[in-house]
Homo-oligomer: A and B are copies of this chain.
Amino acid sequence: MTAGPTCRVKLLLAYDGTGYHGFAIQPGVATVGGLLAGALERYLRHTVELTCAGRTDSGVHAWGQVVSFDSRAGVDVTGLQRSVNRALRPAVVVRSAELADPCFDARRSAMGRVYRYTIRNDPVADPFSSRTAWHVAAPLDLNAMRLACDALHGEHDFSAFCRRPPVPGASLVRNVRDARWTDLGEGMLRFEIEASAFCHQMVRSVVGMLVDVGLGKRKAGQMTTVVASRSRQQAGPLAPAHGLCLWEVRY
Contacts and interface: CB of A to CB of B under 8 A. Distances in A.
Interface string A117-152: 000000011111011100000000000000000000
A90 interface: yes
A125 B96 CA distance: 11
A124 B97 CA distance: 11
At the interface, is chain A mostly helix, strand, loop or mixed? loop
A3 to B, nearest CB: 33
A59 to B, nearest CB: 14
Count the copies.
2
Interface in A82-138: 85, 89-96, 124-128, 130-132
A94 B96 CA distance: 40
Categorize the interface residue count of chain A. 20 to 34
B130 A90 contact: yes
A27 to B, nearest CB: 25
B15 A91 contact: no
Nearest to A95: B124
Interface of A: 14-16, 61, 63, 85, 89-96, 124-128, 130-132
- By Cβ-Cβ distance, the 5 closest A-B pairs, closest first, are A90-B130, A16-B127, A93-B125, A95-B124, A91-B127
